[in-house]
Structure 1
Amino acid sequence: MRLIKKLIHPEVKAVTGAILTRRAARGIVLREQSILLLYTERYNDFSFPGGGVAEGEDLIDGLRRELEEETGAQNVRVQRNYGYIEETRPHRRGGYELMNMTSHFFLCDIDPELRTTKMEDYETANGMRPVWVDLDEAITHNRAVIDRREASMGLSIQRETFMLEELANERAKVA
Protein backbone atom coordinates (compact mmCIF):
# COMPACT_ATOMS: atom_id res chain seq x y z
CA MET A 1 0.00 0.00 0.00
CA ARG A 2 1.37 3.38 -0.93
CA LEU A 3 1.16 6.45 1.24
CA ILE A 4 -0.54 9.10 -0.88
CA LYS A 5 -0.20 11.98 1.58
CA LYS A 6 0.02 12.96 5.24
CA LEU A 7 -2.44 15.70 6.07
CA ILE A 8 -2.65 17.86 9.16
CA HIS A 9 -5.90 19.80 9.41
CA PRO A 10 -5.35 23.60 9.45
CA GLU A 11 -6.95 23.84 12.92
CA VAL A 12 -4.32 21.50 14.45
CA LYS A 13 -1.63 23.61 16.10
CA ALA A 14 0.22 20.80 17.92
CA VAL A 15 0.01 17.01 17.84
CA THR A 16 -0.30 16.52 21.58
CA GLY A 17 -2.91 15.27 23.98
CA ALA A 18 -5.29 12.32 23.73
CA ILE A 19 -5.42 11.00 20.15
CA LEU A 20 -8.07 8.63 18.82
CA THR A 21 -6.69 6.29 16.13
CA ARG A 22 -9.12 5.16 13.44
CA ARG A 23 -8.95 3.12 10.21
CA ALA A 24 -11.30 3.72 7.31
CA ALA A 25 -11.92 2.17 3.89
CA ARG A 26 -13.20 4.34 1.03
CA GLY A 27 -14.35 3.38 -2.45
CA ILE A 28 -13.43 4.96 -5.75
CA VAL A 29 -16.12 4.03 -8.28
CA LEU A 30 -15.68 5.61 -11.72
CA ARG A 31 -17.91 5.48 -14.79
CA GLU A 32 -16.54 7.41 -17.77
CA GLN A 33 -16.35 11.05 -16.53
CA SER A 34 -18.50 10.43 -13.45
CA ILE A 35 -17.65 9.27 -9.95
CA LEU A 36 -19.94 7.84 -7.29
CA LEU A 37 -19.78 10.16 -4.29
CA LEU A 38 -21.84 11.12 -1.28
CA TYR A 39 -23.33 14.60 -1.19
CA THR A 40 -24.01 15.82 2.36
CA GLU A 41 -26.38 18.78 2.68
CA ARG A 42 -25.23 19.69 6.21
CA TYR A 43 -21.65 20.24 5.03
CA ASN A 44 -22.44 21.14 1.39
CA ASP A 45 -19.72 18.80 0.15
CA PHE A 46 -18.92 15.72 -1.86
CA SER A 47 -17.08 12.81 -0.24
CA PHE A 48 -16.09 9.26 -1.02
CA PRO A 49 -18.37 6.48 0.14
CA GLY A 50 -16.86 4.49 2.97
CA GLY A 51 -16.03 4.93 6.58
CA GLY A 52 -14.69 3.49 9.76
CA VAL A 53 -13.66 -0.12 9.95
CA ALA A 54 -14.32 -1.90 13.24
CA GLU A 55 -11.47 -3.32 15.32
CA GLY A 56 -10.60 -6.71 13.81
CA GLU A 57 -12.72 -6.12 10.67
CA ASP A 58 -10.96 -6.73 7.35
CA LEU A 59 -10.55 -3.53 5.28
CA ILE A 60 -12.18 -5.06 2.20
CA ASP A 61 -15.12 -6.41 4.21
CA GLY A 62 -15.56 -2.98 5.80
CA LEU A 63 -15.36 -1.31 2.39
CA ARG A 64 -18.03 -3.58 0.91
CA ARG A 65 -20.28 -3.05 3.94
CA GLU A 66 -19.91 0.73 3.80
CA LEU A 67 -20.50 0.93 0.02
CA GLU A 68 -23.63 -1.20 0.30
CA GLU A 69 -24.99 0.80 3.25
CA GLU A 70 -24.21 4.30 1.98
CA THR A 71 -24.83 3.94 -1.77
CA GLY A 72 -26.93 0.82 -2.23
CA ALA A 73 -24.11 -0.67 -4.34
CA GLN A 74 -24.36 -4.36 -5.09
CA ASN A 75 -21.70 -6.90 -6.02
CA VAL A 76 -18.77 -4.67 -5.00
CA ARG A 77 -15.63 -5.84 -6.78
CA VAL A 78 -12.35 -4.39 -5.54
CA GLN A 79 -9.97 -3.87 -8.46
CA ARG A 80 -6.95 -2.63 -6.53
CA ASN A 81 -5.71 -0.70 -3.54
CA TYR A 82 -5.10 2.90 -4.62
CA GLY A 83 -3.22 3.90 -1.46
CA TYR A 84 -3.86 5.61 1.84
CA ILE A 85 -3.93 9.05 3.42
CA GLU A 86 -2.85 9.64 7.01
CA GLU A 87 -4.72 12.55 8.51
CA THR A 88 -4.56 14.32 11.85
CA ARG A 89 -7.56 16.47 12.69
CA PRO A 90 -9.45 17.88 15.68
CA HIS A 91 -11.71 15.47 17.57
CA ARG A 92 -13.41 16.88 20.62
CA ARG A 93 -15.45 13.91 21.77
CA GLY A 94 -14.96 11.01 24.12
CA GLY A 95 -12.07 12.66 25.95
CA TYR A 96 -9.96 12.98 22.79
CA GLU A 97 -8.43 16.16 21.43
CA LEU A 98 -7.27 14.79 18.05
CA MET A 99 -8.02 11.96 15.66
CA ASN A 100 -5.42 10.18 13.57
CA MET A 101 -7.37 8.70 10.65
CA THR A 102 -5.83 6.37 8.10
CA SER A 103 -8.11 6.27 5.05
CA HIS A 104 -7.46 3.40 2.64
CA PHE A 105 -8.78 4.05 -0.88
CA PHE A 106 -9.74 1.22 -3.24
CA LEU A 107 -10.73 1.31 -6.92
CA CYS A 108 -13.96 -0.65 -7.24
CA ASP A 109 -16.56 -1.81 -9.74
CA ILE A 110 -20.20 -2.28 -8.80
CA ASP A 111 -23.37 -3.45 -10.52
CA PRO A 112 -24.98 -0.70 -12.65
CA GLU A 113 -28.07 -0.19 -10.49
CA LEU A 114 -27.92 1.25 -6.99
CA ARG A 115 -30.42 -0.18 -4.51
CA THR A 116 -31.90 1.42 -1.41
CA THR A 117 -29.36 2.77 1.05
CA LYS A 118 -29.13 1.78 4.72
CA MET A 119 -27.77 5.01 6.15
CA GLU A 120 -27.10 5.45 9.83
CA ASP A 121 -29.42 7.91 11.60
CA TYR A 122 -26.82 10.70 11.71
CA GLU A 123 -26.10 10.27 7.97
CA THR A 124 -29.80 10.61 7.17
CA ALA A 125 -30.10 13.62 9.51
CA ASN A 126 -27.12 15.25 7.74
CA GLY A 127 -28.84 14.86 4.36
CA MET A 128 -26.31 12.38 2.96
CA ARG A 129 -27.16 10.77 -0.38
CA PRO A 130 -25.27 8.94 -3.12
CA VAL A 131 -24.83 10.79 -6.42
CA TRP A 132 -23.07 10.22 -9.71
CA VAL A 133 -21.26 13.48 -10.44
CA ASP A 134 -18.67 14.72 -12.90
CA LEU A 135 -15.25 14.51 -11.22
CA ASP A 136 -14.26 18.07 -12.18
CA GLU A 137 -17.62 19.45 -10.97
CA ALA A 138 -17.15 17.78 -7.58
CA ILE A 139 -13.67 19.32 -7.27
CA THR A 140 -14.92 22.78 -8.28
CA HIS A 141 -17.79 22.55 -5.80
CA ASN A 142 -15.62 21.45 -2.84
CA ARG A 143 -12.91 24.01 -3.67
CA ALA A 144 -15.53 26.79 -3.66
CA VAL A 145 -16.79 25.66 -0.22
CA ILE A 146 -13.20 25.72 1.09
CA ASP A 147 -12.45 29.11 -0.48
CA ARG A 148 -15.63 30.63 1.00
CA ARG A 149 -14.80 29.06 4.39
CA GLU A 150 -18.45 28.14 4.79
CA ALA A 151 -19.49 27.93 8.44
CA SER A 152 -21.01 24.48 7.80
CA MET A 153 -17.78 23.11 6.28
CA GLY A 154 -16.89 19.67 7.64
CA LEU A 155 -13.48 18.48 8.82
CA SER A 156 -13.03 15.93 6.03
CA ILE A 157 -13.37 18.27 3.03
CA GLN A 158 -9.58 18.84 2.76
CA ARG A 159 -8.91 15.09 2.53
CA GLU A 160 -11.77 14.44 0.14
CA THR A 161 -10.89 17.34 -2.18
CA PHE A 162 -7.21 16.40 -2.21
CA MET A 163 -8.15 12.85 -3.22
CA LEU A 164 -10.55 14.04 -5.95
CA GLU A 165 -7.75 16.23 -7.34
CA GLU A 166 -5.33 13.29 -7.16
CA LEU A 167 -7.72 11.22 -9.31
CA ALA A 168 -8.19 14.07 -11.79
CA ASN A 169 -4.42 14.50 -12.11
CA GLU A 170 -3.96 10.77 -12.70
CA ARG A 171 -6.73 10.80 -15.31
CA ALA A 172 -5.06 13.75 -17.07
CA LYS A 173 -1.73 11.85 -17.25
CA VAL A 174 -3.44 8.90 -18.93
CA ALA A 175 -5.39 11.04 -21.44
Structure 2
Amino acid sequence: MKLLRSTVHPDVQALSFQTVIQRLSTRAIAMQGDDILLLYTERYHDYSLPGGGLEDGEEQIAGMIRELEEETGAQNIRNIEPFGCYEEFRPWYKDEANVIHMLSYCYTCVVDRALGETRFESHEVNNGMKPVWINIHEAIEHNLKTIELSAKKGMSIERETFLLQLIAEQCLEKASS
Protein backbone atom coordinates (compact mmCIF):
# COMPACT_ATOMS: atom_id res chain seq x y z
CA MET A 1 0.00 0.00 0.00
CA LYS A 2 1.37 3.43 -0.89
CA LEU A 3 2.60 5.72 1.87
CA LEU A 4 0.47 8.88 2.02
CA ARG A 5 2.49 10.68 4.68
CA SER A 6 4.93 10.06 7.51
CA THR A 7 4.90 12.41 10.50
CA VAL A 8 6.65 12.80 13.83
CA HIS A 9 4.75 14.64 16.57
CA PRO A 10 6.62 17.76 17.77
CA ASP A 11 6.77 16.37 21.34
CA VAL A 12 8.73 13.30 20.17
CA GLN A 13 12.49 13.79 20.47
CA ALA A 14 15.15 11.72 18.66
CA LEU A 15 13.55 8.32 18.00
CA SER A 16 16.82 6.45 18.55
CA PHE A 17 16.58 7.29 22.27
CA GLN A 18 12.91 6.30 22.69
CA THR A 19 11.10 3.11 23.61
CA VAL A 20 8.71 2.61 20.69
CA ILE A 21 5.72 0.30 20.31
CA GLN A 22 3.90 -0.25 17.03
CA ARG A 23 0.14 -0.19 16.47
CA LEU A 24 -1.47 -1.27 13.22
CA SER A 25 -4.84 0.26 12.48
CA THR A 26 -7.33 0.74 9.67
CA ARG A 27 -9.50 3.64 8.52
CA ALA A 28 -12.63 3.39 6.35
CA ILE A 29 -13.51 5.91 3.64
CA ALA A 30 -17.21 5.59 2.74
CA MET A 31 -18.62 8.32 0.51
CA GLN A 32 -21.85 9.10 -1.31
CA GLY A 33 -21.33 12.10 -3.55
CA ASP A 34 -19.78 14.87 -1.42
CA ASP A 35 -21.01 13.22 1.80
CA ILE A 36 -18.66 11.05 3.85
CA LEU A 37 -19.38 8.77 6.81
CA LEU A 38 -17.39 10.09 9.78
CA LEU A 39 -17.32 9.97 13.55
CA TYR A 40 -17.97 13.17 15.44
CA THR A 41 -16.29 13.18 18.86
CA GLU A 42 -17.75 15.69 21.29
CA ARG A 43 -14.74 15.57 23.67
CA TYR A 44 -12.31 16.68 20.94
CA HIS A 45 -14.82 18.62 18.83
CA ASP A 46 -13.63 16.91 15.64
CA TYR A 47 -14.54 14.62 12.78
CA SER A 48 -12.54 11.47 12.05
CA LEU A 49 -12.65 8.44 9.81
CA PRO A 50 -14.13 5.30 11.34
CA GLY A 51 -11.43 2.82 12.25
CA GLY A 52 -9.12 1.55 14.91
CA GLY A 53 -6.49 -0.94 15.93
CA LEU A 54 -6.13 -4.38 14.45
CA GLU A 55 -6.45 -7.33 16.79
CA ASP A 56 -3.58 -9.87 16.95
CA GLY A 57 -3.43 -11.78 13.68
CA GLU A 58 -6.34 -9.85 12.14
CA GLU A 59 -6.07 -9.05 8.44
CA GLN A 60 -6.37 -5.38 7.48
CA ILE A 61 -9.62 -5.57 5.49
CA ALA A 62 -11.28 -7.75 8.13
CA GLY A 63 -10.25 -5.22 10.79
CA MET A 64 -11.53 -2.31 8.72
CA ILE A 65 -14.91 -4.00 8.26
CA ARG A 66 -15.14 -4.87 11.98
CA GLU A 67 -14.28 -1.31 13.08
CA LEU A 68 -16.63 0.26 10.53
CA GLU A 69 -19.52 -1.94 11.66
CA GLU A 70 -18.80 -1.37 15.37
CA GLU A 71 -18.39 2.39 15.20
CA THR A 72 -21.03 3.34 12.63
CA GLY A 73 -23.42 0.43 12.23
CA ALA A 74 -22.51 0.43 8.52
CA GLN A 75 -24.32 -2.21 6.50
CA ASN A 76 -23.62 -3.95 3.19
CA ILE A 77 -19.92 -2.99 3.08
CA ARG A 78 -18.61 -3.61 -0.43
CA ASN A 79 -16.22 -2.51 -3.21
CA ILE A 80 -13.26 -2.25 -0.81
CA GLU A 81 -10.12 -0.75 -2.37
CA PRO A 82 -6.79 0.33 -0.83
CA PHE A 83 -6.29 4.10 -0.57
CA GLY A 84 -2.96 4.39 1.25
CA CYS A 85 -1.13 4.29 4.58
CA TYR A 86 -0.53 7.14 7.03
CA GLU A 87 2.47 6.67 9.32
CA GLU A 88 2.97 8.62 12.53
CA PHE A 89 5.18 8.68 15.59
CA ARG A 90 3.54 10.33 18.57
CA PRO A 91 3.85 10.37 22.36
CA TRP A 92 2.59 7.35 24.28
CA TYR A 93 1.86 7.76 27.96
CA LYS A 94 1.90 4.16 29.17
CA ASP A 95 4.53 2.12 31.01
CA GLU A 96 5.73 -0.07 28.15
CA ALA A 97 6.85 2.77 25.85
CA ASN A 98 6.99 6.53 25.44
CA VAL A 99 6.42 6.66 21.64
CA ILE A 100 3.83 4.90 19.51
CA HIS A 101 4.55 4.15 15.86
CA MET A 102 1.12 3.98 14.27
CA LEU A 103 0.37 2.78 10.76
CA SER A 104 -3.16 3.59 9.58
CA TYR A 105 -4.15 1.54 6.52
CA CYS A 106 -6.94 3.40 4.70
CA TYR A 107 -9.50 1.76 2.40
CA THR A 108 -12.32 3.17 0.33
CA CYS A 109 -15.61 1.29 0.34
CA VAL A 110 -19.31 1.63 -0.37
CA VAL A 111 -21.93 1.22 2.37
CA ASP A 112 -25.68 1.67 2.59
CA ARG A 113 -26.77 5.18 3.63
CA ALA A 114 -28.95 3.79 6.42
CA LEU A 115 -26.89 2.78 9.45
CA GLY A 116 -27.60 0.06 11.99
CA GLU A 117 -26.74 -0.08 15.68
CA THR A 118 -23.26 0.89 16.88
CA ARG A 119 -21.18 -1.15 19.32
CA PHE A 120 -18.98 1.51 20.88
CA GLU A 121 -16.34 0.76 23.50
CA SER A 122 -16.81 2.53 26.85
CA HIS A 123 -14.15 5.19 26.15
CA GLU A 124 -15.84 5.99 22.82
CA VAL A 125 -19.17 6.45 24.60
CA ASN A 126 -17.49 8.60 27.28
CA ASN A 127 -15.89 10.75 24.56
CA GLY A 128 -19.29 11.37 22.96
CA MET A 129 -18.66 9.63 19.63
CA LYS A 130 -21.44 9.37 17.08
CA PRO A 131 -21.52 8.41 13.39
CA VAL A 132 -22.67 11.07 10.92
CA TRP A 133 -22.96 11.56 7.20
CA ILE A 134 -21.57 15.02 6.49
CA ASN A 135 -20.39 17.04 3.52
CA ILE A 136 -16.63 16.43 3.37
CA HIS A 137 -15.83 20.12 2.83
CA GLU A 138 -17.84 21.07 5.94
CA ALA A 139 -15.97 18.45 7.98
CA ILE A 140 -12.60 19.74 6.76
CA GLU A 141 -13.55 23.34 7.57
CA HIS A 142 -14.78 22.31 11.02
CA ASN A 143 -11.54 20.44 11.80
CA LEU A 144 -9.38 23.32 10.56
CA LYS A 145 -11.23 25.69 12.92
CA THR A 146 -10.79 23.21 15.78
CA ILE A 147 -7.05 23.01 15.08
CA GLU A 148 -6.83 26.79 15.08
CA LEU A 149 -9.08 27.65 18.01
CA SER A 150 -9.71 24.73 20.36
CA ALA A 151 -7.72 23.68 23.39
CA LYS A 152 -9.75 20.44 23.37
CA LYS A 153 -8.24 19.02 20.18
CA GLY A 154 -6.75 15.53 20.29
CA MET A 155 -3.49 14.31 18.74
CA SER A 156 -5.20 12.64 15.79
CA ILE A 157 -6.90 15.72 14.31
CA GLU A 158 -3.93 16.59 12.08
CA ARG A 159 -3.93 13.07 10.62
CA GLU A 160 -7.66 13.08 10.11
CA THR A 161 -7.75 16.53 8.50
CA PHE A 162 -4.85 15.67 6.17
CA LEU A 163 -6.66 12.48 5.12
CA LEU A 164 -9.97 14.29 4.59
CA GLN A 165 -8.26 16.91 2.42
CA LEU A 166 -6.53 14.18 0.38
CA ILE A 167 -9.79 12.23 0.03
CA ALA A 168 -11.63 15.35 -1.16
CA GLU A 169 -8.88 16.05 -3.67
CA GLN A 170 -8.49 12.50 -5.01
CA CYS A 171 -11.87 10.81 -4.61
CA LEU A 172 -14.08 13.73 -5.63
CA GLU A 173 -11.79 14.53 -8.56
CA LYS A 174 -11.98 10.90 -9.70
CA ALA A 175 -15.79 10.88 -9.39
CA SER A 176 -16.13 14.03 -11.50
CA SER A 177 -13.81 12.74 -14.28
TM value normalised by structure 1: 0.94
Identity of aligned residues (%): 43
Distance 1:61 1:18 in 2: 29
1:152 Cα deviation (Å)?
A: 1.4
CA contact (8 A) 2:34 2:172 kept: no
- SS of 2:93's partner is coil
Partner of 1:81: 82
CA contact (8 A) 1:74 1:110 kept: yes
Matched letter for residue 154 of structure 2: G
CA RMSD of aligned residues (A): 1.3
What is the total number of aligned residue pairs between the two structures?
174
Which whole-Å deviations, capped at 9, do the CAs of 1:85-140 have from their partners, x for residues lacking one?
Answer: 11111111133111100000000111231011000000000000000111011111
Distance 1:173 1:78 in 2: 18
Partner of 1:146: 147
CA contact (8 A) 1:78 1:106 kept: no
1:75 Cα deviation (Å)?
A: 2.1
Partner of 1:95: 96
Distance 1:66 1:161 in 2: 20
Partner of 1:163: 163
Unaligned runs of 5+ in 1: none
1:58 Cα deviation (Å)?
A: 0.7
- SS of 2:12's partner is coil
CA contact (8 A) 1:24 1:50 kept: yes
Partner of 1:125: 126
Matched letter for residue 30 of structure 1: M
- SS of 1:132's partner is strand
